[in-house]
Amino acid sequence: MTERPPRRLLLVHAHPDDESINNGATMARYAAEGAQVTLVTCTLGERGEVIPPGLAHLTGAALGEYRRRELAAAMRELGVEDFRLLGGAGRYRDSGMMGLPDNDDPGCLWQADVDEAAAHLLEVIREVRPQVLVTYDPGGGYGHPDHIQAHRIAMRAAGLAAEAGVGIAKVYWNRVPRAVAEEAFARLAEALPGLAFAGSAVLGDVPGVVDDARITTEIDGTAYAAAKAAAMAAHATQIEVAEPYFALSNQLAQPLFATEYYELARGERGAPGVPAAGGPARETDLFAGIGAPS
């Protein structure tokens, strides 16, 4: 048996592309530093809207299969080798946007039994033994049913892991500090006339935006910005990238953040690395404060 890398990070996401948008730089950094980075994606995103006209024929299972390959390509860009689908490919289907009839599909993630889904995740946790878990906040960042459900499953699995004696030291939620988002949108407004996007998204479109004081951790991914952009671009059915901006199928530009932010939801805060305006100093390492790994 090969030896376990000392630092092990588990990320739980709803659809292929969410990992690159939210955590691409973080994943690339820890992979490059030799940590084990494990991604669990809950659905194949079969209900995503396809951007390239040439691929518009892809729907349902065919789109899911295509997005699975996009995910593999994105992981190559980030240097991440361990990526899995919750319960196996196709176990849980994309639930579509909140309020659509798709939400009632008995096979969709929104209808899934959280305990059963969390049991699949617990198997991964038992095998990988991550010290750090990253997922969405209780609102799923922006209210998509699959993101809300991914949060519930991840948190339930973290609880089950603790009961089973394979507890995870730190659990983080994806965040963007409001001041950072506001500044980035101001820059975007100036740049917009020179960009090929139809218009600008608004701050409310960015998942996980909170007051700066709630941010506990920032990961400077500047060195991995290109890898993150390439991983996002690998999800070509879903994302159009023109660094430092990108757009989803609505063609509205958003900032592409090279520094990624987190709120520590469970666990002990480690030693701070950077001072932050309007709040306590922030960690600069998700593994900060975690003792000698086993």
For 278, phi then psi, to 5°, come to 75, 15
Question: Taking CB positions, which residue lies at the least distance from Zn ion?
Answer: 15
Round to whole Å and give the CA distance between 263 and 204: 18
Element (H, E) at 179: helix 178-191
Nearest distance from residue 169's CB to Zn ion, in Å? 26
Round to whole Å and give the CA distance between 291 and 279: 26
Angle at 172 between CA 161 and CA 25, to 5 degrees: 120
Nearest distance from residue 273's CB to Zn ion, in Å? 30
Element (H, E) at 82: strand 82-85
Site size for Zn ion (CB under 5 A): 3
Report the Cα–Cα distance between both ends of the chain, in Å, rounded. 15
Binding mask 6-45 for Zn ion (x = CB under 5 A): --------xx--x---------------------------
Closer to Zn ion by CB, 48 or 270: give it: 48
Closer to Zn ion by CB, 149 or 200: give it: 149
The answer on whether 15 is annotated among ligand-binding residues is yes
The answer on whether 18 is annotated among ligand-binding residues is yes
Nearest distance from residue 14's CB to Zn ion, in Å? 4
Closer to Zn ion by CB, 105 or 220: give it: 105
Question: Which of positions 198-227 make contact with Zn ion (CB under 5 A)?
Answer: none
The answer on whether 147 is annotated among ligand-binding residues is yes
Round to whole Å and give the CA distance between 52 and 39: 26
Residues making up the annotated binding site are 15, 18, 147
Point out which residues bind Zn ion (CB under 5 A).
14-15, 18
